[in-house]
Amino acid sequence: MLKIDWDEYKEYKKYSVRNDNFEVLLEFIKSYYNIVLPQDIYDMLHSDDTAQLMLDKRSINDAVALEDFLYKL
């Protein structure tokens, strides 16, 4: 399982136009790791404590809920 490189995320965030850290994180994962499947993104987020807090804040409990969130972007 890939782990989120938070140092690279911070660098990526400097150039993002989004204000929401979670949206920036999703863009970062898709761009930096080239992961696009909601299940793979969810697994990566779920395995990280900080990212799990972001999921909890948005009541995202599974890959289907994450996919719904992604379509709203």
pLDDT tens-digit series, residues 10-59: 999 999 999 999 999 999 999 999 999 999 999 999 999 999 999 999 99
Please identify which residue in the block is written with the tokens 């150039």: 15
Helix, strand, coil proportions of the chain in percent (round to 5)? 65, 0, 35
State the pLDDT at residue 33: 97
1 pLDDT higher than 90: no
State the pLDDT at residue 39: 97
**pTM for this model (two decimals):** 0.94
State the pLDDT at residue 6: 98
- Overall average pLDDT of the 60-70 stretch: 97
